[in-house]
Amino acid sequence: MNDIHHRLTQAADDEGVPLRTDFPDLLRRARADRRSHRTRVSLAAAATTAVVLAGGGFGLQALASSGGAAPDPAQAPSKSAAAEPRQGEPWVLPVDSYRITNTFGMEGGYYSSGFHAGLDFATSYGTPIKAITAGKITAVGYQGEAGNRIVLKLEDGTELRFHHLSAFEVEKGDRVRTGQVIGYVGSTGNSFGDHVHLEVRPDGRKPLDPVKVLAEHGVHVNAPKSRPPGRPEAPSGQTTDKAQWVRPVEGCRIGDTFGQRQDYYSSGYHTGLDFKCKYGKPIKAVTAGKVTAAGYKGAYGNRVVIQLKDGTELWFAHMSGFEVKKGDRVRAGQVIGYVGSTGNSVVPHLHLEVRPGGGDPVDPAHALAQHGVKVDLSD
Ligand SMILES: [Zn+2]
Ligand SMILES: [Zn+2]
């Protein structure tokens, strides 16, 4: 194994050390990054929903009842309006443009509960997701099939759940107002296309039909009445074909590309493709296969190797943690671990290698493109 990459000066320190000692520092830095980013985005969100700031929340009553159109300045909240008792918080749609793909109650072996417990809004990757109404964030993070999910708890105990996000704009414990951006659309967890799955659970009880609940609060959803039971449609027209590959990480920028010549690579060139991600970002199996290695491997740090049917090996390096072990069979999109900076790495990133027949590496961007996954190398 002569494919040691990245700065060799770091190698001696990291070789054989399963965990980085600067982990708390990295985490602090990642959080600081996130905060400054969130401030910027929140300001932008505030500007577009200036009515929230102007009316302390009350102005959105008009916004919600007028179907999301900008409120007439004549109806701007006055002092007397603010003095009146609250009629309940206003509600809005979570995304501005969407296509409802899977409705509530659809049956299918696809759903672990046997039926679809929410409502799917398919829309483009990265679309901001808004808090449907005001409440408190009680959970933020990755959870199995839900992927990156947010739980928003209302005053009456009702839980609103948002699944499959690509990124978050809130933290657990945050109080949010109606229309505030809480995260971005993605396809994490058990998802076959970019969409947000919305669930409404009153006081921890069985889920309700979000279309009905939204209607009770004056928000109309353009949803098909019903769909015959069966396999759900894949949102955004994406295929559920097993041969289709998926992106290993969401919302990350491309770093060093394949073949880049640098003297800090022992082989003289970069043997993989780097995705620069936030620490802890879930890493998905690019396609189905068998895990033939999951452990610490020198300069690669924490590494997972997935062997495909045709013998091709996919290597995932520098991970902070594992979700699979040697011998596991994984399906496309299954979370296999998390982005880190273990081994010979200076910043959190995923190093992906593609090795046909387990031999010399080929360009991962090319291999991904051949399987329908476009990677923008201009970043
Ligand atoms: Zn769903
Ligand atoms: Zn790399």
pLDDT tens for 161-210 read 999 999 999 999 999 999 999 999 998 888 778 899 999 999 867 899 99
Is 198 within 8 Å of 119 (Cβ atoms)? yes
Euclidean distance between CA atoms 177 and 179, whole angstroms: 6
Question: From the CA of 110, how far away is ligand 1's center (Å)?
Answer: 10
Residue range 49-60+91-237, CATH number: 2.70.70.10
Ligand nearest to the CA of 7: 2
The answer to whether the predicted template modeling score (pTM) of the entire model surpasses 0.75 is no
- Is residue 154's pLDDT more than 80? yes
Question: From the CA of 363, how far away is ligand 2's center (Å)?
Answer: 12
Give the type of residue at 165: L
- Is residue 49's pLDDT more than 50? no
Our measurement of the distance from residue 326's CA atom to the centroid of its chain's CA atoms, rounded to an integer in Å, reads 26
Give domain limits for the chain. 8-30+242-370, 49-60+91-237
SS3 at position 315: strand
300-319 pLDDT, tens digit per residue, is: 999 999 999 999 999 999 99
The arithmetic mean of pLDDT across residues 231-245, rounded, is 46
- Is residue 230's pLDDT more than 80? no
Matching fold, domains 8-30+242-370 and 49-60+91-237: yes
Give the residue with greater pLDDT, 194 vs 137: 137
Euclidean distance between CA atoms 167 and 343, whole angstroms: 26
Is 123 within 8 Å of 99 (Cβ atoms)? yes
Question: From the CA of 265, how far away is ligand 2's center (Å)?
Answer: 9
Ligand nearest to the CA of 273: 2
To the nearest whole number, what is the mean pLDDT of the chain? 76
Is 95 within 8 Å of 195 (Cβ atoms)? no
pLDDT interval class at 218 (50, 70, 90):
very high
Question: From the CA of 243, how far away is ligand 2's center (Å)?
Answer: 25
pLDDT interval class at 273 (50, 70, 90):
very high
Ligand nearest to the CA of 110: 1
CA end-to-end distance (rounded Å), the chain: 30
Question: From the CA of 288, how far away is ligand 2's center (Å)?
Answer: 22
Question: From the CA of 360, how far away is ligand 2's center (Å)?
Answer: 15
Question: From the CA of 4, how far away is ligand 2's center (Å)?
Answer: 9
| Domain covering 8-30+242-370: architecture | Distorted Sandwich (2.70)
